Amino acid sequence: MSRGSSHCTLSIVHYPFPTSRPFRANFALEVYPSERNTADMTTSEHPYDVIIVGGGPCGLAAGIEAAKSGLTHLILEKGSITESIRRYPKLMRFFSTAENIEIGGIPFPISGVKANRNEALQYYRKVAAYFQLNTKMFTEVQKVQKQGDLFIVTTTNGDTFQAYKVILATGYFDKPRWLGIPGEDQAHVSHYYDEPFQYSFTKVVIVGAANSAVEAALELYRHNVDVTVVHRGEDFKPTVKYWLIPDVKNRVKEGKIKTAFDSCVTRIGPDYVRMHNLKTGETQTIPADFVLMLTGYTPDAELLTRCGIDLDPDTQIPVYDKQTFETNVPGLYVCGTVMAGIYTEKVFIENGREHAIAIIDHIVGREEIHKVNELIQRI
């Protein structure tokens, strides 16, 4: 089987419950083979009821809700299952407690309170297997087009799939915010932080002052790395997890982590970073073996536009109904962090997992549509 066609071929799941509600486990599981969900193919012969683009926590939640409602579904994922989490820093721990990132009503048991990356990867994989989700991995969707009552979903290698409804759950982690400065594309510059050991006994400049930057700075400092944090603001961002603040500030006070606030990076050389102080106007050059540009990520606006979805020009937030998550293209929905535009810190698994419930309520025509917690509604 080729890497691109690894098709986990599974059957539809019928539940004795006509509706699903948030985080209530429906354990009385019966499985029936289904003709529509069993083809190992690159082009669907029959339309699926729902195609979900993206196999992150929110896309999986959408697949589960579809399956619980007896809808045929296919999840197309460009990488592996929960690809974003797989690429998160290896030593990371979620800030949410485990029960707040559960999906499908399946408990997430861990020995502590908050899960780490490995525990989350195991959990989501097991939940996807438990619900026998119909997935096709390493399949990147290029566009979604409406033709009559159907959607044609086209992948980057030209395969097409048909569905009556499509849910985009593509997140934001693939699109780092580039600063557009000279030298940003060099091999020793990365927009992702993975693990500390590769950097021990080197000089690392971290650009950014939000959670990812602070967590990386602390972890690197504790692995014999000479760390400097550069940020255009005057301090670490106020959104940094409250329990990290005393730790990082005390390390700065001790001189163990260096900072250059009020500073914009203007150039990255092979072994240096040049920056401009916004207050004094001075230019400073500091040595750097590696540069980590931890300046955030944004949803793929081009993909959304290719699918016909209108975006707010200032916020990049797609046009969608706040209750049903249906976009300006009828039958095409946004689910999870893909809808966040530039406000990626406002949608996460905790609230994004609930979009799936509201979307499937709308698709199957339930009178009462699940109300998603108000964090997302503030956008």
Ligand X SMILES: Cc1cc2nc3c(=O)[nH]c(=O)nc-3n(C[C@H](O)[C@H](O)[C@H](O)COP(=O)(O)OP(=O)(O)OC[C@H]3O[C@@H](n4cnc5c(N)ncnc54)[C@H](O)[C@@H]3O)c2cc1C
Nearest distance, CB of residue 100 and ligand X, angstroms: 7
Distance CA 42, CA 286 (A): 51
Residue nearer to ligand X on the CB measure, 31 or 41:
41
Other Cβ atoms within 10 Å of 311 Cβ, number: 18
Do residues 182 and 268 touch, judged by C-beta distance below 8 A? yes
Using DSSP's 3-state secondary structure scheme, residue 66 falls into helix
Distance CA 202, CA 172 (A): 30
Residue nearer to ligand X on the CB measure, 262 or 321:
321
How far is residue 344 from each of residues 6, 239, 271, measured CA to CA in Å? 31, 12, 32
Nearest distance, CB of residue 213 and ligand X, angstroms: 11
Distance CA 316, CA 309 (A): 11
Nearest distance, CB of residue 335 and ligand X, angstroms: 7
Residue nearer to ligand X on the CB measure, 274 or 353:
353
Nearest distance, CB of residue 207 and ligand X, angstroms: 16
Closest CA to 54 of 29, 74, 25: 74
Nearest distance, CB of residue 132 and ligand X, angstroms: 19
Residue located via tokens 């401009």: 276
Residue nearer to ligand X on the CB measure, 326 or 350:
350
Residues that bind ligand X (CB under 6 A): 53-59, 76-79, 83-84, 88, 92, 94-96, 101, 140-141, 169-171, 173-174, 212, 303, 336-337, 348-350, 352
Distance CA 169, CA 325 (A): 11
Residue nearer to ligand X on the CB measure, 69 or 139:
139
Which residues, 6+ apart, have CB-to-CB distance to 203 below 8 Å?
A: 225, 226, 228, 287, 288, 289, 290
Q: Between β-strands 258-260 and 7-8, what pairing exists: parallel, antiparallel or unpaired? A: unpaired
Nearest distance, CB of residue 199 and ligand X, angstroms: 17
Chain mean position to CA 197? 25
Q: Which helix (H) or strand (E) holds 222?
A: none
Residue nearer to ligand X on the CB measure, 216 or 273:
216
Nearest distance, CB of residue 62 and ligand X, angstroms: 9
Residue nearer to ligand X on the CB measure, 134 or 212:
212
